[in-house]
Structure 1
Amino acid sequence: MPKAELCYFPGSPYARMARVLIAEWSLPITPVEWSFPPLDDLFRLNPLGQVPALVEGDKALFPTFLILERLWDVAGRPDDGYRPEDERQILLTTLQAGDAMVAAFYQDWCGLRPVATNHIGYDLGARHLRRFAETLDWLEDHASAGRLRPGVTLPGVAAACLLLWSEARGGPDWGGRERLWSLVRSLEDRPSFQATVPQVWSPG
């Protein structure tokens, strides 16, 4: 493959997913740290202004879902890492639920509160957090049925990075989900996770 770099912020749970897989599979991809808040250069690389972005030669790949599948491809498509026919929905739903959680956090951190009449009938932040919680219950069911497998898999790494990020940022308690808890804790102790722990941060 051409020279490849992964652009990341140290605190991004999405970039952490890719960094973990690069380490686990010993991929010839160099993680490159970008400054935060993002500069305009990031929008020229990725119109979403987000990390991760995977740069191979003169091409940039994003969003996270496509990057994770690309890393699996570069690794030789190991069956124990991803089974697209069974796990693509689990992976994509996990990533979308993570987006909802992050949106709720950033809404709070930015000090955003209702300033006009609520025309949709629900609190947006609370709705985002419910989407995340409902997805965790759904993942617990999948883990109990053996559809969310233990070990280094794309869906498992994604879930673990999001939940560990939530813990580090003072997010909602996600305990009580025995299978999901076991999966995350087993991954947390791996060298790839220990080497990518996000920096400590709290609002204010």
Structure 2
Amino acid sequence: MYRVIGTVKSRAFRVLWMLEELGQPYELVEAFPRSDEATKFNPLGKIPALVDGDEVLTDSVAIMTYLADKHGGLTAPAGTPERARQDAVTLWLIDELDALLWTNSKHAFVLPENLRVPDISATLHKEFARNAETFAGMLDQSGAFIMGDQITLPDLLAVHCFGWAFGAGFPPLPDGVKAYSKRLRARPAFRAAADH
């Protein structure tokens, strides 16, 4: 059984959702960033961490990729052009959505007050809205999910980012992205992960 170190209201949620989609048993060990519990598994104090036997893995996307590859689900096979395209979308999401959300969080409450630049928020919101429109265009061309007719890792990542954006007061999503996000959030695996 896997152990996930983190909280539901963090990037650990992505890992929980992935495990639910893959039908893998796990235990959530609640730990907040920089807590003693988190630091036991990651010297940087960051969450999530995944414990798989004697192995401890960190970074939500690295963990998701590992789980998808290990269990052969929610991913194109490694070493294929489809996987390269999937990885390109995953990295785009990290650069163009996740990074903006994390920068906003840092300047809202993570950094010491003397290092925060609150005025950066307006720029981040505008950039996020532009990138959400780009995502909407990608979705229009792809099908039911961002990579086509099958749910994959980038879908979980995108929907988590959109939920984070909503909670952080970012601009409303384009209608198509809203409907996509709502549909994926209704999946039993999402609901099960959220119920922790």
Consecutive unaligned residues in structure 1, runs of 5 or more? 200-204
- State the match for 2:133 in structure 1: 137
Q: What is the letter of the counterpart of residue 190 of structure 1? A: R
- The answer to whether the 8 Å contact 2:77/2:83 transfers is no
1:73 maps to 2:69: yes
* Residue 103, structure 1, aligned to residue 100, structure 2: no
C-alpha contact (below 8 Å) 1:55/1:61 kept by paired residues:
yes
Match of 2:172 in 1: 174
Of 41, 44, 60, the residue aligned with 1:45 is 41
Deviation at 1:112, TM superposition (A): 6.6
2:50–2:58 contact (8 Å) kept in structure 1: yes
The amino acid that maps onto 1:187 is L
Corresponding residue of 1:165: 164
What is the CA–CA distance in structure 2 between the aligned matches of 1:71 and 1:140, rounded to whole Å?
A: 27
Answer 1 or 2: which has greater helix percent: 2
Partner of 2:153: 154
Q: Is the 1:137–1:177 contact (alpha carbons within 8 Å) kept by the matching residues of 2? A: no
Runs of 4+ in structure 1 over 4 Å off: 77-83, 110-116
TM-score by structure 2 length? 0.78
For 1:202, the equivalent position in structure 2 comes to none
| Residue 159 (structure 1) shift | 0.9
- Among the aligned pairs, what percent are the same residue? 20
In structure 2, the residue corresponding to 1:36 is in which secondary structure? Answer: coil
In structure 1, the residue corresponding to 2:142 is in which secondary structure?
coil
Q: What is the CA-CA distance between 1:115 and the residue it aligns to?
A: 7.5
Q: Secondary structure at the match of 1:196?
A: helix
When residues 130 and 9 of structure 1 are mapped into structure 2, their CA distance, relative to the original with a 3 A threshold, is same
Question: Following TM superposition, by how much is the alpha carbon of 1:63 offset from its aligned partner in structure 2, in angstroms?
Answer: 1.2
How many matched pairs? 189
**Take 2:106 and 2:193, find their aligned partners in 1: how far apart are those partners?**
22
1:123-177 Cα deviation digits (max 9, x unpaired): 433343344333322211211221823653211111111212332x242133324
Gap regions ≥5 residues in structure 2: none
TM-score by length of 1: 0.75
Cα deviation digits, residues 10-64 of structure 1 (max 9, x gap): 211x211111111111124x13232335413423422442222111222211212
Contact 1:151 1:187 in 2 (8 A): no
RMSD: 3.2
2:7 counterpart residue number = 9
Alignment partner for residue 188 of structure 2, among 186, 191, 202? Answer: 191
Of the candidates 53, 57, 60, which is equivalent to residue 53 of structure 2?
Answer: 57
Note the alpha carbon deviations across 1:109-129, whole angstroms, 9 max, x for none: 45976779x9xxx94333433
- Residue type of the alignment partner of 1:90: V
Structure 2 CA distance for partners of 1:4 and 1:79, relative to 1, 3 Å = closer
Q: Is contact 1:8-1:15 (8 Å) kept?
A: yes
Alignment-mate amino acid for residue 160 of structure 2: C
